[in-house]
Structure 1
Amino acid sequence: MDDYDTNKFLIEILAASIERWEDQAAEFSDFNAAVAETDTGIALLKTLMDQHGLGVADLPELGSKGNVSKILNGAEGKKLTRKHMEALGKRFGVPPVLFF
Structure 2
Amino acid sequence: MKLTGTILRCLARKVNSGGKETYVTNLLVLDPDNSTGTNYAVEVWDEKPHDLRLMSEIALTVIGVVNKNSGVPAFRAVIAPRFEAEKAPAAA
TM-score (ref. length: structure 2): 0.25
Name whichever structure is richer in helix by fraction.
Answer: 1
Structure with bigger gyration radius: 1
TM-score (norm 1): 0.24
The one of the two structures with greater contact order (alpha-carbon pairs below 8 A, sep at least 6) is 2
